[in-house]
């Protein structure tokens, strides 16, 4: 074995096939698209508590996925080893908002497409997805369901409350009713007429009503 044979290894051959220009271009575009995904996430966030760490993880996930795909596409043997290494990884973080899953898959998909060299597809696809999310997530709906929880005393007060709810709401359905020595508690699913919640204040001020709570299905409390 000569001195030159030492440097004729597969490692050095892989280094010579590595393109710094393509890698930098893919990572820069990955960073830009990751920032774009972060901006769309902030714009369309409808949850209870905003997590900045999750938002930053979307950017990191786009960059990391791009880096992995760049390595995999350059070497078939490395791709098989990468699949085996990633198969033992387990993610146990709970996803609280269903829409967060879509953003995670978006970041991964953008990284895969960029790593594969399909740059126009990644740019056009990300812009299209961002527009669709803004249009549909931020769309104001006027028929959101709410749950009205009322604690009261006696059947007479219950009839007055139900009559008032029927008058002020578009639709109502009694979901549950609990009777105890402390009084009556029942839950009503309602559809608001004009998204006004002032009638809850009037119900809570009725004689015999202990309290009234209006709850949105997405976890936000109103009234």
pLDDT in tens, 94-146: 677 778 888 989 999 999 899 888 889 999 999 999 999 988 887 655 567 78
> 166-195 pLDDT, tens per residue?
877 878 888 888 888 878 888 888 887 776
Distance CA 20, CA 66 (A): 14
Q: Which helix (H) or strand (E) holds 32?
A: helix 20-44
The model's pTM: 0.63
**Count of C-beta atoms within a 10 Å radius of residue 24:** 10
Closest listed residue to residue 69, CA positions, set 19, 110, 13, 12: 110
- Give the model confidence (pLDDT) of 78-87 as tens digits: 555 565 555 5
pLDDT exceeds cutoff 70 at 8: no
- pLDDT tens per residue across span 19-72: 788 888 989 999 999 999 999 998 888 766 777 888 899 999 999 888 888 877
Given a contact cutoff of 8 angstroms between Cβ atoms, the answer to whether 108 and 61 are in contact is yes
Please check the confidence at residue 93 and state whether its pLDDT lies above 80.
Answer: no
Which of 68-72, 139-143, 199-203, 217-221 is least confident?
Answer: 217-221
Q: In the chain, what are the domains?
A: 3-137 (no CATH), 145-222 (3.30.70.1150)
Mean pLDDT of 156-163: 82
Token duo for residue 209? 């009503």
Closest CA to 64 of 30, 33, 90: 30
d(CA 204, CA 185): 13
- The better pLDDT of the pair 144, 211 is held by 211
3-class secondary structure, 115: helix
């Amino acid at each position: 074995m000569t001195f030159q044979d030492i440097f004729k290894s597969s490692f050095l051959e892989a280094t010579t096939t590595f393109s710094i220009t393509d890698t930098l271009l893919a990572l820069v575009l990955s960073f830009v698209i990751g920032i774009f995904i972060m901006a769309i996430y902030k714009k369309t966030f409808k949850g209870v508590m905003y997590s900045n760490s999750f938002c930053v993880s979307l950017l990191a996930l786009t960059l990391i996925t791009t880096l992995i795909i760049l390595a995999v596409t350059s070497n078939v043997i490395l791709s098989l080893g990468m699949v085996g290494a990633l198969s033992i990884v387990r993610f146990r973080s709970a996803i609280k908002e269903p829409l967060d899953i879509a953003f995670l898959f978006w970041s991964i998909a953008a990284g895969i497409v960029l790593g594969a060299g399909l740059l126009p597809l990644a740019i056009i696809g990300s812009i299209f997805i961002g527009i669709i999310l803004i249009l549909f997530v931020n769309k104001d709906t006027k028929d959101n369901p709410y749950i009205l929880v009322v604690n009261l005393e006696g059947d007479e007060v219950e009839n007055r409350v139900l009559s008032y709810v029927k008058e002020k709401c578009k639709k109502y359905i009694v979901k549950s009713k609990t009777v105890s020595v402390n009084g009556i508690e029942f839950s009503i699913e309602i559809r608001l007429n004009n998204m006004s919640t002032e009638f809850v204040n009037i119900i809570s001020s009725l004689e015999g009503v202990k309290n009234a709570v209006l709850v949105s299905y997405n976890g936000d409390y109103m009234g």
